Amino acid sequence: MNQQIAGNRAWVAREGWPWVAASAAGGGLCLYAGLLWPAAVLALVFLVLLALFFDPARRVPPFPLAVIAPVDGRITEISGHADDVLTGRWLRLTIQIYWHGAYTCRAPIEGSICNLSSIVTPDHEPRGLWVKSEEDDDVVLLFPVRGPARTPKAFCSIGERVGQGERFAYLRLAPVAHLYVPASLELAVSPGDVVRAGTSVIGELRH
């Protein structure tokens, strides 16, 4: 079976191209005018923006029932929860997001986007993604952060369908992600494992 290539085939997220292009153009103009210090500063800004908006295409594994890592990072904790985000038993995977990882979040499963407002958490308003598959499996991704600069920004809407590994939001400065999966998930990872968004298999849903 062929693997699906998900996301942007350029190495810079489309949201970042205007900023990257502006810094490159500004640096070029300063260099042409002989303004070396401004050119050097803009060159540094250009490199920082390239790192910030780094977003390579990812090859999604050919496992339709797999839960795929939504972000680049390291799993720091796996714990069991009951009736936490939704009714039922859940596993919560805490992922420390790598600041040098990919710029965007990717959908962990294929399905329809549900309204997060029905999810109540004790420490913050829900920010993230809730996907329900055709098999009626729920997977919830939450970002327990405060402040607009640290909240991921979605570019999809409630009711839309997302594909497994598809880009659905850009991260900005979010440091941690909580991935809630059904307790029956056959896990393929352990605490300490490094995962890559859109590529690493977290586990497989059982049916």
Tens digits of residue pLDDT in 71-100: 999 999 999 888 778 888 999 999 998 877
For the chain, domain boundaries: 1-56, 64-204
**Which of the four CATH numbers 2.60.40.10, 3.30.70.120, 2.70.70.10, 3.30.310.50 does domain 64-204 have?**
2.70.70.10
- Strand, coil or helix: 68: strand
Tens digits of residue pLDDT in 148-177: 545 666 777 788 898 888 888 776 667 888
Q: What is the pLDDT of residue 175?
A: 83
Query: Region 43-69: what's the mean pLDDT?
Result: 84
- For residues 167 and 79, the answer to whether their CB atoms sit within 8 Å is no
- Strand, coil or helix: 41: helix
Q: What is the pLDDT of residue 9?
A: 54
Tens digits of residue pLDDT in 112-123: 988 877 665 555
Q: What is the pLDDT of residue 90?
A: 92
